[in-house]
Amino acid sequence: LQPEDIWNMDECGTRIGVGGNQEVVTLEVYRAAESPSETERELVTLVEAINALGQVIPPLCIQRGAVIMHQHVSKELDLDPNLLLGVSSSGYINDRLGMDYIYYFDKYTKLGRKRDRWRMLIFDGHSSRFTYNFIQFYWDRRIWPFLLPSHITHILQPLDVAVFGPFKQYYKKRVEIETRLGNDYFNKVEFLHAIREVRKQAYKPGTIRSVFKQAGLWPYNPSAVLLKLKTVDRPQTPPPQPPLKAVISPPTPCKAWQLDEFARKHIYGVDPETGQWGILPGRFSKFQKGAAAAALNGEKASEKLIQVNVATNARKKRQKGDLRYIQKGGTIYVYDARLRVAEREKEDARKKGRAVAKGKSTT
């Protein structure tokens, strides 16, 4: 087997509108702070496949629902045409969607390869991959299924080692950025628009090759995993730390000369030895810094307002899409869905033209 023929497949569940931890500033102390990004908690499942050469194929995106809408494949969305869209009642993969994805996987991973070459598909023990039809399909298409042991996929499965983690971090950052740009409802449409760029950031060839190496799969190196499974010695109790020195505040002045010196040094900013007054230059310096900071904040606010307006206008176009559905259930490629939308739009235009012509003839 060559590195381009060793594949790992797994699912990644993502809550649509949930970003990272945030600090929210409110006007009232007594009011509970709420995260502005957690506006949509619906789950979407991405089924991904990567190989030891650092390649990744377009994913299967499973949304919760019964139909695939026009709005989900709008031209305003930054979608990979080869993305496979699917729906299920739970938002998770099932046997039917899993079978659709295996056909999809076979199609993309055999391009440009000789027909007699075998491929290895590494995965965990999810039940959707162990039906009779699955196993039969694997062997018929010269795909060698390899099941990972339970409970240690976090160190054996490349996607779990260090691919899905960065993906979720980049996605949370994207949600936070959209929130700051005025997006207070990050829904399915916004998720589909964002996912292509987030995947580009997370699924870099170097990162993918590195995780296969960490998992000991390519180059083949069992010790990379076995060393992590060694029994860890009980940590020794650290020696007691010396007590921290307490911060000693200035002594309270009790005599007249001590009071005068304390005032000159700590209140008026006068050096008791030289007698120089430093309070006025210090205040002027603070005023100068504050004025510069205020001017800079004003410029940033103007730039931010422009960014918010641009983002808001683009978001309105995406959310304004056709609310009719393309198909019920199953899966469909984005490019096929867009072809159906284009045909329907042409038919709508023809109907409108006939209606206009009919109206003119009656008058």
**CATH number of the domain that residue 154 is part of:** 3.30.420.10
For residue 229, what pLDDT is reported? 80
Least-confidence region, from 180-184, 195-199, 234-238, 256-260:
256-260
Q: Helix %, strand %, coil % for the chain, to 5?
A: 50, 15, 35
pLDDT of 318 > 50? The answer is yes
3-state SS record for 155-192: HHCHHHHHCHHHHHHHHHHHHHHHHHCCCCCCCHHHHH
Q: How many CB atoms lie within 10 A of CB 256?
A: 8
For residue 264, what pLDDT is reported? 61
Highest mean pLDDT among 169-173, 273-277, 284-288: 169-173
pLDDT band at 242 (very low <50, low <70, confident <90, very high): confident
Say whether both 77 and 197 belong to one domain. yes
Question: Structural domain tally of the chain?
Answer: 2
Among the candidates 264, 288, 305, a domain finishes at 305
Rounded to an integer, the average pLDDT of 317-341 is 91
Rounded to an integer, the average pLDDT of 297-323 is 83
Question: Could you tell me if residue 344 is inside a domain?
Answer: no
Least-confidence region, from 82-96, 204-218, 270-284:
270-284
For residue 307, what pLDDT is reported? 84
Range of the domain at 285: 256-305
Q: Are 121 and 146 in contact (CB under 8 A)?
A: yes
pLDDT of 192 > 90? The answer is yes
What is the model's pTM? 0.78
Question: Could you tell me if residue 292 is inside a domain?
Answer: yes
For residue 280, what pLDDT is reported? 45
Question: Could you tell me if residue 15 is inside a domain?
Answer: yes
Say whether both 128 and 168 belong to one domain. yes
Of all residues in the chain, the percent with pLDDT exceeding 90 is 51
Rounded to an integer, the average pLDDT of 308-326 is 85
Say whether both 123 and 164 belong to one domain. yes
In 3D space, the residue among 172, 164, 162 whose CA is nearest the CA of residue 21 turns out to be: 172
Say whether both 202 and 55 belong to one domain. yes
Q: Are 65 and 87 in contact (CB under 8 A)?
A: yes
For residue 42, what pLDDT is reported? 86
Among the candidates 224, 242, 267, a domain finishes at 224
pLDDT in tens, 120-140: 999 987 655 667 888 899 999
Say whether both 158 and 298 belong to one domain. no
pLDDT of 16 > 80? The answer is yes
Mapped onto helix, strand or coil, the DSSP state of residue 84 is strand
For residue 275, what pLDDT is reported? 59
pLDDT of 167 > 80? The answer is yes
pLDDT band at 86 (very low <50, low <70, confident <90, very high): very high
Contacts of 90 (CB under 8 A, 6+ apart): 64
Length of the chain: 363
Question: Could you tell me if residue 103 is inside a domain?
Answer: yes
Question: Could you tell me if residue 236 is inside a domain?
Answer: no
Say whether both 182 and 114 belong to one domain. yes
For residue 284, what pLDDT is reported? 46
Rounded to an integer, the average pLDDT of 31-54 is 77
Question: Could you tell me if residue 13 is inside a domain?
Answer: yes
Say whether both 200 and 300 belong to one domain. no
pLDDT band at 180 (very low <50, low <70, confident <90, very high): confident
Say whether both 53 and 160 belong to one domain. yes
For residue 95, what pLDDT is reported? 87
For residue 300, what pLDDT is reported? 81
Question: Could you tell me if residue 31 is inside a domain?
Answer: yes
Q: To the nearest whole number, what is the mean pLDDT of the chain?
A: 84
Rounded to an integer, the average pLDDT of 337-345 is 94
pLDDT of 272 > 80? The answer is no
133 vs 37: which has the higher pLDDT: 133
For residue 283, what pLDDT is reported? 45
For residue 241, what pLDDT is reported? 78
